């Protein structure tokens, strides 16, 4: 079982719709959870971090964490073509960051 699992996609969403990205993790001791965005040929860029159960909103982005289900999600509202990228879920325990394989998201105009 992979430590952090994501659907590799591609996920195709029409412009203006809500994009929903999901991630599960295996280590129950994980403490910090991150979503990174990676444009093609670029390095990962942090867009959201979440540390406790529930929702965390930042602009058009909402991260959701459910530790009991070992599940993290990212919602992108009012999706824009510029949101087209690979989204990486990353989970930390003991200062070690483990990444999922990423979900490729395409926003169609």
Residues contacting residue 20 through CB under 8 Å, at least 6 positions apart: 73, 74, 75
Q: Quick check: 46 binds other proteins (CB under 8 A)?
A: yes
User: CA separation (Å) from 50 to 8, 31, 84?
Assistant: 22, 9, 22
- Selected from 20, 22, 49, 106, the binder of other proteins by CB under 8 A is 49
User: CA separation (Å) from 45 to 2, 17, 33, 68?
Assistant: 23, 23, 14, 27
- Selected from 85, 102, 105, 107, the binder of other proteins by CB under 8 A is 102
Nearer to other proteins, 76 or 90 (CB): 90
Q: How far is the CB of 72 from other proteins (least distance, A)?
A: 14
What does the block give as tokens for 46?
């942090």
Q: How far is the CB of 79 from other proteins (least distance, A)?
A: 22
Q: Quick check: 69 binds other proteins (CB under 8 A)?
A: no
Q: How far apart are CA 47 and CA 36, in angstroms?
A: 6
| Residues of the shown chain interacting with other proteins in the complex, contacts defined by CB under 8 A | 4, 8, 32, 34, 42-46, 49, 88, 90, 92, 95-102
């Amino acid at each position: 079982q992979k430590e952090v699992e994501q659907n590799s996609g591609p996920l195709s969403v029409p412009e203006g719709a809500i994009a929903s990205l999901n991630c599960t993790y295996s280590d129950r001791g994980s403490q910090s959870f991150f979503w990174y965005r990676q444009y093609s040929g670029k390095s990962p860029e942090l867009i959201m971090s979440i540390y406790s159960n529930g929702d965390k909103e930042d602009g058009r982005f909402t991260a959701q964490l459910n530790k009991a289900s070992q599940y993290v999600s990212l919602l992108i509202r009012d999706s824009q073509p510029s949101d087209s990228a690979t989204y990486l879920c990353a989970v930390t325990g003991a200062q070690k960051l483990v990444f999922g394989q990423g979900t490729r998201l395409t926003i169609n105009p």
